[in-house]
């Protein structure tokens, strides 16, 4: 018999069906038992004789042949998509036995600390609420793609192995590459910029690698970056507008396609005013000083505390949970940033903050070859290290700008998750690559012994 998917059962009242799935929960009532059977499309209640399901428990993979019955009015379960029916089991086959579970997976929230949940990632990812995080993330990433394709951007695959680190080397992973030393890419920045010379408008969904030296709730060592870059801009305002368009598009799609998932997290999408407000770094610091007395007015960047405060201010005074901060210090930014001609110590660089955390960084880039060369010297870089990049600008590149949004940060902030690891299928940090590194021997140590 052909398999029937669980969501199709409501259309098959009176028919005999073959269902294949996992036991989500089992309720024993002596001679009879109820099983909530789960497959990729949902959950349905199965009624069985106690003897048919003896010894079975949650996560066992079973095949059930049975008849679909309409439930009497008073037994309809409105919480279940298939709540109008139940399946009366005729035959129950055990296909794959599950080990005893380390915790109860039937609870609305798994009652185990995050590190334990990450240790049991394969199992935990089966939980309804956890799975829904990745449905939302899929919609975010799909929508990023759709929004930019609609504006004629070309998607490219960014390389991960790179030969030099012109953006600063402290947070980079080294990779032995035959007889050479290479690095894992922290950002596809130079590639996306040089590709503007070929395709005008490009974007990529790629992994970035950062040897983040501390363990925080918003940093991973391997993250997903949603990168875009485009040419023929009229001013750096264009990059704000493009980003705002993309973010609004993403929010609309998440709202439309993920209502059930948002509900599970009691989450609402961030409020956006008519226009996302934009202020300069120094203005933000002044506001923070006035509101809190904390003097950060000469700092080169906003601290996490400052980011939370300025988002609060934005929500209170502009009704917007998102805010752009521009004009970071030119010499604290990479060599390619475009200094504001009116105040060249500040750059046309723009961060987007949302609900207290940075979501993206971007800005206008230098496109004049001679100016780029001057910056390369001033920044103490070697031309040969970025030859491919320079080559593109030597042959003519229009005024350009771009941005990079963190996919996990967006997922975390939209759903109100406390830790970015929750928004990552297989999070990596200083202490974890799948399993906790403290449980394995560091290679060096083994060698020394
Ligand atoms: P932060 O200041 O918050 O550490 P950043 O300024 O170093 O971030 P960028 O280089 O601007 O990060 O990267 C662009 C975007 O990529 C960030 O705004 C963020 O959304 C995401 N991102 C960067 N680093 C990480 C990371 N280690 N883990 C998760 N997301 C990251
Ligand atoms: Mg940044």
What's the confidence (pLDDT) of residue 166? 78
Nearest alpha-carbon partner for 103 in 56, 58, 43: 58
What's the confidence (pLDDT) of residue 449? 39
Phi, psi of 25 (to 5 degrees): -145, 160
Residue 296 — very low, low, confident or very high, per pLDDT cuts 50/70/90? very high
What's the confidence (pLDDT) of residue 445? 45
Answer whether residue 101 is part of any domain: no
Residue 440 — very low, low, confident or very high, per pLDDT cuts 50/70/90? confident
Answer whether residue 119 is part of any domain: no
Pocket of ligand 1 from Cβ distances under 6 Å: 187, 210, 212, 219-220, 223, 225, 358-361, 404, 406, 408-409, 420
Report angle CA 78, 9, 6 to the nearest 5 degrees.
85
Nearest alpha-carbon partner for 87 in 28, 30, 5: 5
Residue 178 has pLDDT above 50, yes or no: yes
Residue 447 has pLDDT above 70, yes or no: no
Mean pLDDT over 13-34 rounds to 97
Residue 108 CA to ligand 1 center (angstroms) comes to 31
- Verify that 82 and 148 share a domain, yes or no: no
Q: Which of 81, 96, 111 is the last residue of a domain?
A: 96
Residue 169 — very low, low, confident or very high, per pLDDT cuts 50/70/90? low
Give the three-state DSSP class for 307: helix
Mean pLDDT over 41-65 rounds to 98
Integer-rounded Cα Rg, in Å, for the chain is: 27
What's the confidence (pLDDT) of residue 228? 98
Residue 202 CA, distance from chain mean position: 20
- Verify that 54 and 163 share a domain, yes or no: no
293 or 446, which is more confident: 293
321 burial (CB, 10 Å; 0-12 / 13-18 / 19+) is: buried
What CATH number is attached to the domain comprising 70? Answer: 2.40.50.140
What's the total number of domains in the chain? 2
Mutate to test the pocket of ligand 1, among 171, 173, 208 (most ligand atoms within 8 A of CB): 208
Residue 443 — very low, low, confident or very high, per pLDDT cuts 50/70/90? low
**Mean per-residue pLDDT over the chain, rounded:** 96
Sign for the CA dihedral angle at 344, 348, 354, 358 comes to negative
Q: State the ligand closest to the CA atom of 402.
A: 1
Give the three-state DSSP class for 122: helix
**Which pLDDT tens digit goes with each residue over 323-352?**
999 999 999 999 999 999 999 999 999 999
Q: What is the DSSP letter of 322?
A: E
Residue 254 has pLDDT above 70, yes or no: yes
What are residue 177's DSSP bridge partners?
A: 180
Residue 168 has pLDDT above 80, yes or no: no
213 or 20, which is more confident: 20
Residue 438 has pLDDT above 90, yes or no: no
Answer whether residue 432 is part of any domain: no
Q: Which atom of ligand 1 is nearest to the CA of 304?
A: 3
What's the confidence (pLDDT) of residue 444? 54
Q: Which atom of ligand 1 is nearest to the CA of 225?
A: 16
Q: Which atom of ligand 1 is nearest to the CA of 221?
A: 27
Distance CA 273, CA 46 (A): 48
Nearest alpha-carbon partner for 364 in 225, 237, 200, 249: 237
- Verify that 151 and 230 share a domain, yes or no: yes
What's the confidence (pLDDT) of residue 446? 44
Q: Which of 96, 117, 135 is the last residue of a domain?
A: 96
Residue 273 CA, distance from chain mean position: 24
Residue 291 has pLDDT above 70, yes or no: yes
Residue 358 CA to ligand 1 center (angstroms) comes to 7
267: CB partners within 8 A, 6+ apart: 414, 415, 416
Q: Please tell me the chain's helix, strand, coil percentages from 3-state DSSP, rounded to the nearest 5.
A: 35, 30, 35
Phi, psi of 64 (to 5 degrees): -125, 125
Residue 238 — very low, low, confident or very high, per pLDDT cuts 50/70/90? very high
- Strands 201-209 and 154-155, sheet pairing: parallel
What's the half-sphere exposure (Cβ side, CA atoms, 13 Å) at 290?
8
What's the confidence (pLDDT) of residue 333? 93
Answer whether residue 91 is part of any domain: yes
What percent of the chain stands above pLDDT 70?
98
Tell me the pTM.
0.96
Mean pLDDT over 419-423 rounds to 98
What CATH number is attached to the domain comprising 337? Answer: 3.30.930.10
Answer whether residue 448 is part of any domain: no
Distance CA 367, CA 381 (A): 17
Q: Which domain holds residue 419?
A: 126-424
Answer whether residue 324 is part of any domain: yes
Distance CA 361, CA 374 (A): 24
Q: Which atom of ligand 1 is nearest to the CA of 360?
A: 18
Answer whether residue 68 is part of any domain: yes
């Amino acid at each position: 018999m052909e398999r029937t998917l669980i969501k199709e059962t409501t259309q098959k009242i009176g028919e005999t069906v073959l269902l294949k799935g996992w036991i989500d929960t089992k309720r024993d009532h002596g001679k009879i038992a109820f099983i909530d059977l789960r497959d990729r499309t949902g959950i349905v209640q199965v009624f069985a004789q106690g003897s048919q399901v003896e010894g079975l428990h949650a996560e066992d993979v079973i095949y059930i042949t049975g008849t679909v019955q309409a439930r009497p009015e008073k037994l309809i379960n409105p919480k279940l998509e298939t709540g109008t029916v139940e399946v009366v089991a005729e035959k129950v086959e055990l296909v794959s036995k599950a080990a005893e579970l380390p915790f109860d997976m039937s609870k609305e929230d798994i009652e185990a600390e995050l590190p334990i949940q990450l240790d049991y990632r394969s199992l935990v990812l089966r939980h309804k609420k956890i799975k829904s995080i990745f449905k939302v993330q899929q919609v975010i990433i799909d929508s990023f793609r759709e929004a930019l394709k609609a504006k004629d951007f070309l998607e490219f695959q960014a390389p991960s192995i790179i030969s030099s680190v012109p953006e600063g080397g402290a947070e980079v992973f080294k990779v032995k590459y035959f007889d050479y030393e290479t690095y894992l890419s922290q950002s596809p920045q130079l590639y996306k910029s040089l590709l503007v010379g070929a395709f005008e408008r490009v974007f990529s969904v790629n992994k970035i690698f950062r040897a983040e030296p501390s363990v925080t709730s918003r940093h991973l060592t391997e993250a997903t970056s949603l990168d875009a870059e485009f040419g023929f801009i009229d001013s750096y305002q264009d990059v704000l507008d493009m980003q705002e368009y993309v973010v609004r598009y993403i929010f609309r799609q998440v709202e439309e396609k993920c209502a059930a998932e948002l509900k599970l997290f009691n989450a609402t999408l961030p409020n956006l005013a008519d226009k996302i407000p934009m202020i300069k770094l120094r203005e933000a610091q002044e506001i923070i000083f006035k509101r809190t007395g904390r003097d950060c007015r000469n700092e080169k960047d906003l601290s996490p505390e400052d980011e939370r405060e300025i988002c609060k201010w934005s929500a209170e005074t502009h009704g917007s949970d998102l805010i752009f901060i521009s004009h970071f210090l030119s010499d604290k930014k990479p060599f390619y940033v475009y200094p504001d001609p009116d105040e060249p110590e500040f750059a046309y660089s723009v961060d987007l903050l949302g609900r207290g955390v940075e979501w993206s960084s971007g800005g206008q880039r230098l496109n004049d070859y001679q100016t780029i060369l001057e910056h390369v010297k001033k920044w103490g870089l070697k031309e040969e290290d970025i030859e491919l990049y320079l080559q593109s600008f030597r042959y003519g590149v229009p005024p350009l700008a771009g941005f990079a949004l963190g996919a996990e940060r967006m997922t975390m902030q939209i759903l109100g998750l406390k830790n970015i690891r929750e928004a990552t299928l297989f999070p990596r940090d200083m202490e974890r690559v799948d399993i906790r590194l403290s449980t394995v021997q560091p290679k060096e140590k083994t060698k020394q012994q």
